[in-house]
Chains A and B, each alone.
Chain A
Amino acid sequence: MSSKFKPPIGNLSQISGKCISLVGDDIDTDRIIPARFLKCIDFDSLGKYVFDDDRKTLKGNHPFDLETNKGASILVVNSNFGCGSSREHAPQALMRWGIKAIIGESFADIFYSNCIAIGIPCFTLPKKSIKEIQKYQDIENLFLEIDLFESTAKAEELKFNLEIKETSKKMFLSGEWDATSKLLENKELIDNRLNSLPYIQFNSDSF
């Protein structure tokens, strides 16, 4: 399946860009990409439908529609972002809109692992710091430079110490975050483990 969009590859250590702030707790994946857009066999067209219902409701005033947020690549969110459905379509839609990293108070589990799997690092900051960034956003667009190795985000007068899971950080810095090839390296171990499972012995494969 070939598509024009080029997902990130290799090691990720620096991400710089304009911030886009989306205020709200428990923003679920149905809101990020409503279910009707999951009727597709690839992810290519999803970028333009990100937050489709919310955007239509706000008639041009949604952060993802504001002219000032055009070209933004660092999404700043509140708590439990991406809860609900496991649809990878949600981070895929964000990525295709232009999001390269997300900073938030907290993330839902499956959404977080989907982001990591496709190369969107997710960082956490305390509520207070998120509020500070989001407030700043009301006045003018903030540009942040994220350094993954140092786990910091810097603007002219601001500096934040970002939290990221150690496993995710190592993966991005080493460039080995495309899991499939890593997993395949343990081919023999997989075979052995599978054959040693008790239920493989007492189940037939004849369904």
Chain B
Amino acid sequence: MSQDTLFDKVWDLHKVANLPGGSDQILIGLHLIHEVTSPQAFGALKDKNLKVKFPQRTVATVDHIVPTDNQSRPFKDNLAEQMIDTLEKNCIEHKIKFFNIGSGNQGIVHVVAPELGLTQPGMTIACGDSHTSTHGAFGSIAFGIGTSQVRDVLATQTIAMNKLKVRQIWCENKLSNGIYAKDLVLHIINQLGVKAGVGYAYEFAGPAISALSMEERMTICNMSIEGGARCGYINPDEKTFSYMKNKLCSPQNENWGKAVKWWKSLESSDNCIYDDVFKLDASKVEPTITWGITPGQSIGVNQKIPSLNEINPNDQFIAEEAYEYMGFKPGQSIKNTPIDVCFIGSCTNGRISDLRVAAKILKHNKVAKHIKAFVVPGSEKVAKEAKKEGLDKIFIKAGFQWREPGCSMCLAMNSDKLIGNQVSASSSNRNFKGRQGSPNGRTLLMSPAMVAAASLTGKVSDVRDFINK
């Protein structure tokens, strides 16, 4: 059993009681809600005649269903309109702070909370969304919950949960030029598999992780869940503190020093105990792309799609399903695979640094003729900053559509969808069957830089050929 890791310290601090069944009652320091997984929870509160216990500890925004082309109200999609309307009403009724469209602070919940300084080291953070693990980049313990647990947090500010085990993922050396956080996390998931994280929190550590910016760290923690780990985190350091300084909700004035002192004390101790440790050499990571239907089915851009006998016997069944669904053959190169749609955005890679990297590659270039390319900033703040830097113009000039913030085609709850068996080069997090809105649509996950490179050639390309020019 793990001892004295950041996870242990934060868990113990938030433990309210041992529950009769044997699980722990854990206090949630920050609760984030959005329009998709909260309405039924508010409905259940009403059914039980309960109130929101600490409304000031819940913050709402709207992201999943928002259209990214025209956000004027009412939305064209009646169901989407009904959902945002329900969230607005629930927030008013229960006195919950809501960052609505046009507030300047709306966006994907996992982009918004860190940029507002709501996400802080040492907090427990829960949200009805599996990518809540993103917030672990700050040294918080953050995880996705279902709607019944959203109800529990609203009613009690706590949930019943079994303590997770802790696996440290030690990333030696540094990423090479042209290799990004997305490549590293896809590589990690490939190495460990998509189920290895079940029952675990992942602690990402080592020189390669320390070298990452806060936004890159968010990309890593965001995809913990794709490796099965509900929670992923990184010990806070000077980069964490400098990112947080002067954010709207960060501790201010004399409280700042107190906060930093406490945050530093949370770090996993030198003699802490992990349930497991996994080590890898980050300098060996290549630009990584998924070829299949789980985020674990990935290869380097210059590798070939593995044949069955190269795949772990436990993963062969899903590999066969992937060959068939994707229309790929074992031994086939992934490089030069034709692409139809390019999507840059999502809670994984929709931040300003992602847009900067992509824009740098697109500058003075044109998207291939047949490609539909669009970029969806992760939040209104990201969009504002991008415009200030002129990135929107670079994207548009290259042939990308510049959209309004939201989750968009990561999960295709709005009108941004693949059609038929189109292939998308996507900076998002899931390549599941049908994920991007078409029951036979195909998704290749990659870094935003790789999406930009693919948009120019119209096929899977090695981004290093563009940045080393």
Q: Which residues of A contact B (CB under 8 A)?
A: 1, 24-26, 28, 30-31, 34-36, 38-43, 53-54, 56-57, 78-80, 83-89, 91, 106-110, 113-114, 117-118, 165-168, 170-171, 174, 176, 179-180, 182-184, 186, 189-190, 193-194, 197-199, 201-205, 207
A114 to B159, CA, bound (A): 12
- Among A25, A28, A202, A204, the most chain B Cβ lie within 10 Å of the Cβ of A202
B258 contacts chain A at the CB level, 8 A cutoff: yes
Q: List, sorted by A's number, 15 A–B pairs whose CB atoms are closer than 8 Å.
A: A1-B40, A24-B318, A31-B434, A35-B412, A38-B64, A40-B39, A56-B439, A83-B195, A113-B161, A114-B147, A117-B148, A174-B21, A183-B159, A201-B255, A203-B255
Question: Which listed residue (B21, B158, B199) contacts A176, Cβ 8 A?
Answer: B21
Contact B249 A86 (CB under 8 A): no
Residue B336 at the chain A interface, CB threshold 8 Å: no
B327–chain A nearest beta-carbon distance, Å: 14
Contact present for B21 and A170 (CB under 8 Å): yes
A83 to B227, CA, bound (A): 9
Nearest 9 pairs between A and B by C-beta? A88-B146, A114-B146, A117-B148, A86-B144, A202-B255, A53-B439, A41-B39, A1-B43, A39-B79
Residues of A close to B272: CB separation below 8 A? none
Listed stretches B121-129, B234-242, B446-454; interface member: B121-129
Q: Give B252-276 interface residues, CB cut-off 8 Å to A.
A: 252, 255, 258-259, 262
Q: Nearest residue in A to B229 (C-beta to C-beta)?
A: A109
Contact B25 A80 (CB under 8 A): no
Decide if B156 touches A202 in the complex (CB within 8 Å): no
A-B contact count, CB below 8 Å? 232
Which of B162, B225, B318 interacts with A167 by CB under 8 Å? B162
Q: Is B162 within 8 A of A39, CB to CB?
A: no
Once A87-B37, A180-B50, A183-B152 are accepted as A-B contacts, the answer to whether A36 and B249 lie under 8 Å apart by CB is no
Q: B205 within 8 Å of A by Cβ? A: no
Q: How far is the CB of A33 from chain B (nearest CB, A)?
A: 11
Instruction: Write the B164-175 contact mask toward A (1 if CB under 8 angstroms, else 0).
Output: 000000000000
- B382 CB to closest chain A CB (Å) equals 19
Given A84-B430, A109-B230, 8 additional A-B pairs, CB 8 A: A26-B194, A39-B77, A89-B147, A167-B19, A179-B159, A180-B151, A186-B17, A198-B259
